[in-house]
Amino acid sequence: MEVLTVFLLSLLWDLLIGEPPALVHPVVWFGKLAEFFDERWERKGPLPDFLAGTLTALVVLLFAIALSLLPFYLPFPLNYALAVYLLKSSFAIRSLHEHVSRAITDNIEKKRKAVSRIVSRNTETLDGVHLNSAAIESLAENLNDSVISPLFYFLLFGLPGALVYRAANTLDAMLGYRNERYEFFGKFPARLDDLLNFVPARLTVLLYLPFGGRRVLKYYRLARFKLNSDKPIAAMSAVLGVMLEKPGFYRFPGRGPVNDDIRRALKVYWLIVAEWVIIVTLLLATGVFPCLSP
């Protein structure tokens, strides 16, 4: 029951308070540590860059493991307080809703600004339909990355699992680009993130089934553009019945999304979050997964 207590308190923290300040946020620390090595490594060629990127990732992952083990060496109640804080930092339910909801506006410039904060693509060239699509895509992808996956690894490996996943996902977001600078330096972080998200991405699709049934499975079969990230996006497109498209990368059929579809997507988001929270709570309460206690 100790692990269940940590989970429920971290969930309560997330819903009532949201994200910790950046200065003391472990995910920000992971990013700063990766940035430290990235900025100091002068690119030297495929193999040296790959080895340097791999070493950078391993240092960040080891830091995440060390951080996650701290509660095990603290007395009660400090161990629980730190465990709750660290677990909460591994997932982001409330803040994801807040970021996406800012894209619900008829002012195209405000919409561009809001969407630019949650996607990496150039929003200046996007029209209203594609801005709405980008907001919904981000919600669907980050439902997996920021909610389902970290708690999936918490179930399997306890706090170390959640923080290691969060560190790996942060490394991919910062270094996992296919461009001249990161093609080799970011290859290990990108492949590690692919590996860690393989099962959770498909689990996320299963969580959509009560709301879209066969249509979700049909769209899942259309999701052949990427290894993982397009799977939850396809499922969201199926449930909403709207077109979700990243030009040049993927397109799922339907009518063009409008502001009201972002609102509908957020309602679906909360239904799936509730579904997943219930599943995690039941699994922790029954002790099905031997995750580690603080």
CA distance 128 to 282: 41
Mean pLDDT of the chain, nearest integer:
94
**Residues 6 or more apart from 170 whose CB is under 8 A from it?**
27, 30, 31, 34, 60
pLDDT tens-digit series, residues 189-213? 999 999 999 999 999 999 999 999 8
Q: Quick one: pLDDT band at residue 289, thresholds 50, 70, 90? A: low
pLDDT value of position 225: 84
What is the greatest pairwise CA distance in the chain? 56
- Residues 104-120 have pLDDT tens digits of 999 999 999 999 999 98
**Above 60 in pLDDT, residue 294?**
no
Distance of CA 83 to the CA centre of its chain: 20
Q: Is the dihedral of CA 225, 229, 234, 235 positive or negative?
A: positive
pLDDT for the residue numbered 53: 96
Query: What are the pLDDT digits (tens) for 131-146?
Result: 999 999 999 999 999 9
Asked whether 272 and 239 are in contact (CB, 8 A), the reply is no
- The tokens of 138 are what? 């981000």
Q: Please, which pLDDT band fits residue 126 given cuts at 50, 70 and 90?
A: very high
Confidence of residue 292 (pLDDT cuts 50, 70, 90): low
Q: Long-range contacts made by residues 180-184, C-beta under 8 angstroms, separation at least 24?
A: 181/43, 182/53, 183/46, 183/49, 184/45, 184/46, 184/47, 184/49, 184/50, 184/53
pLDDT band with cut points at 50, 70 and 90 for residue 290: low
Residues 9-22 have a mean pLDDT of 96
- HSE (CB half, 13 Å, CA atoms) of 22? 3
Q: What's the confidence (pLDDT) of residue 97?
A: 97
26-56: pLDDT as tens digits: 999 999 999 999 999 999 999 999 999 999 9
